[in-house]
Amino acid sequence: MNPVIALVGRPNVGKSTLFNRLTRSRDALVADLPGLTRDRHYGEGRVGERPFLVIDTGGFEPVAKEGIMHEMAKQTKQAVVEADVVIFIVDGRQGLAPHDKTITDFLRKSGRSVLLVVNKSEGMKYTSVTADFYELGMGDPYVISAAHGDGVADLVEESLNIAFAQRPDQEEITDPAGSGIKLAIVGRPNVGKSTLVNTLLGEERVIALICQVQPAIRLKFRLNVRASITR
């Protein structure tokens, strides 16, 4: 199975922008609005001969107890469970926020390999943009600009090196191009589309709340069906 990289961080730090760059797509909507991404969003990337899977997540509040933020936190926590490497993204222009410390505490307990990444660093010196984030105790931060691509290639290379080092005996497996069928679930608001998707997948994969408008997401799953004929 290919390595899995999860993108985690508080709202508006550039997770979806980095997701689009890693997948060379525009699958994730990008806007200066908190809460635009809510469900886990999967995409495929490749560096040379090494393919990988990347997971975009919503703004993370690990201690949220109810409402949409709690549901988003559940999605992010599941992404961390699935990941080989977590890229923890912080905002170099806003600096260290209390929320970053809360996320750090969660990630430190997760047992996953974590790379601290300072985004939005274009035009800034390494020492000035990273100084505050050493307080998190997560080692030397990587400095990137997801919007411009600065530092992204080195970040992905290091992420894949870590992932493969953790499971050297596993072979890379990719799905054949064009395999399976494509199924779209559509309908007017609040008719149960998300609930149907969750039922098919057997997990709470999509947040199902009233009047929560979200961008379309693409999911891969295998469904075992036993046909029966009634005479």
Q: Looking up tokens 């992932």, which residue turns up?
A: 163
CA distance 16 to 230: 49
**Inside any domain, residue 195:** no
Q: What's the one-letter identity of residue 168?
A: P
pTM for the model:
0.74
**Inside any domain, residue 90:** yes
Q: What's the one-letter identity of residue 224?
A: N
CA distance 137 to 101: 10
**Inside any domain, residue 218:** no
Residue 101 in contact with residue 154, Cβ under 8 Å? no
Domain range for 59:
4-166
**Inside any domain, residue 196:** no
Taking Cα atoms as reference points, which of 25, 98, 13 lies closest to residue 57?
A: 13
When divided into structural domains, the chain yields a total of 1
Name residue 163's beta-bridge partners. none
3 token code pair: 């390595």
**Inside any domain, residue 229:** no
pLDDT in tens, the chain (231 residues): 799 999 999 999 999 999 999 999 886 655 555 555 567 889 999 998 899 999 999 888 888 888 888 888 888 999 999 999 999 999 999 999 999 999 999 999 999 999 999 999 998 999 999 999 999 999 999 999 999 999 999 999 999 999 999 876 655 444 444 455 666 666 666 666 666 655 655 555 454 444 444 555 555 555 554 444 444
Question: Any alpha helices (H) in the chain, and if so which ranges?
Answer: 15-23, 67-82, 98-110, 126-130, 152-166, 193-201
CATH number at residue 106: 3.40.50.300
**Inside any domain, residue 28:** yes
